[in-house]
Structure 1
């Protein structure tokens, strides 16, 4: 599972390069609409090939709500925040999601209580993320709140997946929530955006990668991971995404990488290790349980 999480972080981290480049050739929300519309079309085709059934009515309302929270509002808030905030600061505030989800999980998800080690890991990871982005606190207060709300919206959607949709086919869920989100993004763009799209070879590449790999494949992976792993552990691992985005910017966009940024990356990795690692008490408990099971097998 750790390998799958790592691959997802690589995909979403590298996708920041395409998102940044795409802003120069598309209206921002329209690009997000293109991205998720293509992702939804790919997933519909996969569902047809695999003969995935239509959602049950009792689940459909949750699919729609998650589509609004996780795809439509989440991406709207990011794109609108970018008009007044730097990309680094926006990504930091967006990836405050693990903090919100960990706090929600403590109160609302059985078996995901917030222990000292996990809390320390979350705090260190968030601090490292702020340092790694080397963000400047500029911009309007509404834009800051909007960016924070994107992380909160994503956390709420993830909580719903854990509480209400654990029994669902994750391919089915991802497809239908993406259809809802893409429709909302395109509708917003038609009503409020008036810029022009400049098509060419590279703009097509931006849409194809972000739509097929960064949306269809990545969100299926994330939904599967979230259904199998503790919400807090899965979400804190995503702090790697903006870190990989910074490294990708250095490699492909000629952005600078300072020692402060490197220090922040180290903090993020330390936070992820604290949250995902087991404490000595847990390891002792696991070893004791394994020993007791072996003893029981011998007695039989």
Structure 2
């Protein structure tokens, strides 16, 4: 991997690990679809302006619009509607384990199914190894939180966990079908178009069906929710999502998705350095396994990436 892509990959790992804090702060005070929709509309509009000021806005061919719409629906609307709603009903630890373990699986599965990548035993082994590391690192904490909160809300927690899981599948599918577009158009333009389009649908669904959404447009969210929203716009979308689109184009879905095995390690290390949190032997084992898995996934090897045409898949 070129050094520039490696630096972008590490930046993505650090940025997207911290977005969980912003999501949780927002959905506790604001209707989740409204929170997500306004975030993506704002980020998409800013990205379009930046693209226009930089290189102008190339016209997207009519034949590519259905793929662009499907990408927007899968990566933004369906993914974040499920993710933000699910995060209302599960703790952030459980959500992180589900999302970060299933996203690489979905990315590899759809990349193979749609012919974007060829089968690679080494990367399959890396994926399984990474999931084992995630379970060792976060599994006991997530299980303790889950089992200690049984009762009337157990059904909602189960639905919330299912929603987070479905978000990972939707995101993986959308990422793979986006790649042919990224070979034809600037990554910033595709990031802007999908966030703006997907966010608009989210906002429409929120205003039509979400209790309290219209009243929430007044913006009385509280400082924590606004801080989370601003962080997600600036870092989660403008920076993180654009980086992800570029990596998706340059190194493929499976390798780009291996951020899920590095981000949790960064979070644990930051907690240890910044807040004096203790790291136990199982944590060290889990992190070592996950970093090994990421290294195996990112290694170029002799894997052949298949160059799809826009009309395939």
Distance 1:32 1:107, change over 3 A: closer
Which residue does 1:116 correspond to in 2? 121
TM normalised by structure 2 equals 0.79
Which residue does 2:33 correspond to in 1? 29
The correspondence for 1:128, drawn from 111, 133, 157, is 133
1:177 partnered with 2:185: no
| 8 A contact 2:23–2:84 mirrored in 1 | no
1:158 partnered with 2:175: yes
Which residue does 1:294 correspond to in 2? none
Which residue does 1:43 correspond to in 2? 47
CA–CA distance in structure 1, aligned partners of residues 127 and 229 of structure 2: 33
CA–CA distance in structure 2, aligned partners of residues 230 and 178 of structure 1: 20
The correspondence for 2:106, drawn from 89, 97, 100, is 100
Distance 1:249 1:22, change over 3 A: farther
SS at 2:29 equivalent:
coil
Q: 5+ unaligned residues in a row in structure 2: which ranges?
A: 148-153, 304-313
Which residue does 1:298 correspond to in 2? none
CA–CA distance in structure 2, aligned partners of residues 261 and 211 of structure 1: 31
Report deviation, 1:247.
Answer: 5.1
The correspondence for 2:23, drawn from 14, 19, 26, is 19
SS at 1:222 equivalent:
helix
Report deviation, 1:240.
Answer: 2.2
TM normalised by structure 1 equals 0.82
Report deviation, 1:254.
Answer: 9.0
Note the 1:178-217 alignment, pairs <5 A. Answer: 178-190=195-207, 191-194=209-212, 196=216, 198-217=220-239
Which residue does 2:92 correspond to in 1? 87
CA–CA distance in structure 2, aligned partners of residues 126 and 15 of structure 1: 20
Deviations 1:56-110 (A, max 9, x none): 2112221111111101111111122223322222222222111122123234335
Q: 5+ unaligned residues in a row in structure 1: which ranges?
A: 284-300
Distance 1:84 1:205, change over 3 A: closer
* Residues matched between the structures, number: 280
CA–CA distance in structure 2, aligned partners of residues 118 and 98 of structure 1: 10
CA–CA distance in structure 1, aligned partners of residues 264 and 81 of structure 2: 18
| 8 A contact 2:26–2:228 mirrored in 1 | yes
Comparing 194-203 and 224-233, the one that deviates more: 194-203
| 8 A contact 1:13–1:243 mirrored in 2 | no
| 8 A contact 2:261–2:290 mirrored in 1 | yes
Q: CA RMSD in A?
A: 2.7
CA–CA distance in structure 2, aligned partners of residues 94 and 75 of structure 1: 12
Distance 1:130 1:46, change over 3 A: same
Based on CA coordinates, which of the two structures has the bigger radius of gyration?
Answer: 1
Which residue does 1:149 correspond to in 2? 166
| 8 A contact 1:72–1:184 mirrored in 2 | yes
| 8 A contact 2:41–2:200 mirrored in 1 | yes
CA–CA distance in structure 1, aligned partners of residues 18 and 183 of structure 2: 29
Distance 1:153 1:161, change over 3 A: same
Which residue does 1:292 correspond to in 2? none
1:235 partnered with 2:257: yes
Report deviation, 1:146.
Answer: 2.2
CA–CA distance in structure 2, aligned partners of residues 253 and 71 of structure 1: 33
